[in-house]
């Protein structure tokens, strides 16, 4: 096939939601925050406002700390949750286990116990079977379960599913961490309201949340939200100790303030989720394209004819996923447009049908 036969490429590729920049309102917030002096390390008005906004979302006994990035949010959250000789239980697909270059093991000194999963979700029975480890001096003790919402494979836990996991964990004396790098997309998928957010976090019994900002539409920044106040007690010190204390913190806080205002974070996630569905719908019938499941959030994981993957990437970039299955990942972002999706689907159709 000649590349000349391809339709025009989309303006945005489908590589990742972290390839997008910041939403205009967020960028504007950065610009407006750049006025005069403000004390560093969080002693500023923007940070105070962000704390109030997170308290509005998660309730008055919650507390939040801003950090730089997702790896840092997870490591800092977990550092506040673990006891010596604990292990952290997570799915085999968990970002903390697979994509953080061993940061948790290094900074926490803690074993990650990975459990099998096809969609990145854990089930309570997997926690139940850990009971035999408890009290045995030769085994790291199950201390924390970390779940990803939405998962690395684009699936969403229902509120009931999270609640059942929290129950199972708490029965064993474990704490629950929710890696919400894409918590906005999950919230959008589960109803698109603050109540939906609370249903699978506070109400479900989650103890600590990594609340993602970067993939939701800001330039940089994440928040760690402590729902269990006891776990928050040492968190401020731990943040600095794990290198995650921002100096001119107003520049993160201002972005979150813009993102959280008027549910912008939910609306952007509804947009990107919707476009992933549009992409799925407009490609699922193409000969050669197969899917395991319909998308729940902002990514689809099609299996493609292997010889077409590289030409398609050269035309409009995306990442491989499971090479052994010729599975790739197409991901939408807050700034992806319906036109991008339609052009991309047209390109896939063209390449699949003409070769």
Binding to a copy of itself, residues 102-141 (CB under 8 A): 102-103, 105-107, 109-112, 132, 137-141
Handedness of CA 18, 23, 26, 32 (dihedral sign): positive
Neighbours of 141 (CB within 10 A): 20
**CB of residue 41 to a copy of itself, shortest distance in Å:** 7
Among the listed residues 2, 4, 247, 287, the single contact to a copy of itself using CB under 8 A = 247
Q: Which residue reads 């919230």 in tokens? A: 187
Q: Can residue 100 be called a binding residue for a copy of itself (CB under 8 A)? A: yes
Q: Can residue 321 be called a binding residue for a copy of itself (CB under 8 A)? A: no
Among the listed residues 20, 225, 258, 269, the single contact to a copy of itself using CB under 8 A = 20
Q: Can residue 41 be called a binding residue for a copy of itself (CB under 8 A)? A: yes
**CB of residue 218 to a copy of itself, shortest distance in Å:** 9
The answer to whether 216 touches 265, Cβ cutoff 8 Å, is yes
**CB of residue 190 to a copy of itself, shortest distance in Å:** 25
Q: Can residue 31 be called a binding residue for a copy of itself (CB under 8 A)? A: yes
How far is it, in rounded angstroms, from Cα 279 to Cα 286? 12
N-to-C CA span, the chain:
6
Which CB sits closer to a copy of itself, 11 or 195? 11
Q: Which of residues 178-217 bind a copy of itself (CB under 8 A)?
A: 214
Q: Can residue 45 be called a binding residue for a copy of itself (CB under 8 A)? A: no
Contacts of 142 (CB under 8 A, 6+ apart): 86, 87, 89, 113, 127, 130, 133, 134, 172, 174
Q: Can residue 33 be called a binding residue for a copy of itself (CB under 8 A)? A: yes
Q: Can residue 98 be called a binding residue for a copy of itself (CB under 8 A)? A: yes
Among the listed residues 6, 50, 72, 260, the single contact to a copy of itself using CB under 8 A = 72
How far is it, in rounded angstroms, from Cα 191 to Cα 180? 16
Q: Can residue 313 be called a binding residue for a copy of itself (CB under 8 A)? A: no
How far is it, in rounded angstroms, from Cα 123 to Cα 239? 30
How far is it, in rounded angstroms, from Cα 213 to Cα 243? 18
Helix spans in the chain (H): 24-33, 45-58, 70-81, 95-98, 103-108, 124-128, 159-171, 183-189, 194-199, 229-232, 235-241, 250-260, 264-283, 306-315, 338-353
**CB of residue 100 to a copy of itself, shortest distance in Å:** 7
Q: Can residue 173 be called a binding residue for a copy of itself (CB under 8 A)? A: no
Q: Can residue 145 be called a binding residue for a copy of itself (CB under 8 A)? A: no
Among the listed residues 8, 48, 61, 83, the single contact to a copy of itself using CB under 8 A = 83
Q: Can residue 242 be called a binding residue for a copy of itself (CB under 8 A)? A: yes
How far is it, in rounded angstroms, from Cα 49 to Cα 30? 14
Q: Can residue 8 be called a binding residue for a copy of itself (CB under 8 A)? A: no
Q: Can residue 21 be called a binding residue for a copy of itself (CB under 8 A)? A: yes
Q: Can residue 264 be called a binding residue for a copy of itself (CB under 8 A)? A: no
How far is it, in rounded angstroms, from Cα 116 to Cα 126? 9
Which CB sits closer to a copy of itself, 161 or 340? 340
Q: Can residue 341 be called a binding residue for a copy of itself (CB under 8 A)? A: no
Q: Which residue reads 């990942």 in tokens? A: 329
Residue 282, token pair as written in the block:
């407009």
């Amino acid at each position: 096939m000649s590349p000349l036969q391809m339709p025009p490429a989309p303006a945005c590729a489908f590589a990742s939601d972290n390839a997008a920049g910041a939403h205009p309102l967020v960028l504007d917030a950065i610009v407006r925050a750049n006025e005069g002096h403000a004390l560093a390390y969080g002693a500023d008005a923007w940070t105070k406002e962000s704390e109030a906004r997170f308290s509005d979302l998660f309730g008055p006994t919650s507390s939040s700390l801003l950090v730089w990035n997702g790896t840092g949010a997870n490591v800092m959250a977990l550092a506040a949750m673990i006891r010596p000789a604990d292990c952290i239980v997570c799915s085999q697909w968990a970002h903390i286990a697979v994509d953080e270059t061993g940061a948790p093991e290094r900074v926490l000194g803690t074993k990650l116990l990975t459990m099998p999963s096809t969609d990145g979700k854990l089930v309570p029975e997997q926690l139940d079977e850990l009971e035999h480890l408890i009290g045995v001096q030769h085994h790291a003790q199950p201390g924390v379960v970390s779940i990803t919402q939405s998962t690395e494979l684009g699936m969403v836990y229902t509120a009931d599913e999270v609640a059942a996991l929290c129950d199972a964990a708490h029965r064993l004396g474990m704490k629950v961490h929710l890696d919400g790098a894409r918590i906005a997309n999950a919230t959008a998928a589960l109803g698109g309201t603050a109540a939906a957010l609370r249903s699978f976090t506070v109400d479900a019994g989650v103890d600590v949340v990594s609340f993602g900002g970067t993939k939701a539409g800001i330039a940089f920044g994440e928040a760690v939200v402590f729902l269990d106040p006891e776990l928050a007690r040492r968190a401020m010190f731990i943040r600095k100790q794990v290198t995650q204390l921002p100096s001119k913190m107003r520049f993160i806080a201002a972005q979150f303030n813009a993102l959280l205002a008027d549910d912008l974070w939910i609306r952007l996630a509804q947009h990107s989720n919707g476009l992933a569905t549009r992409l799925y719908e407009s490609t699922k019938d193409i000969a050669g394209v197969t899917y395991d499941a319909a998308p729940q959030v902002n990514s689809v994981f099609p299996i493609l004819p292997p010889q077409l993957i590289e030409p398609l990437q050269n035309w409009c970039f995306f990442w491989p996923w499971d090479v052994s299955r010729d599975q790739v990942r197409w991901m939408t972002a807050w700034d992806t447009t319906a036109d991008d999706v339609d052009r991309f689907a047209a390109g896939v159709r063209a390449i699949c049908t003409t070769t």
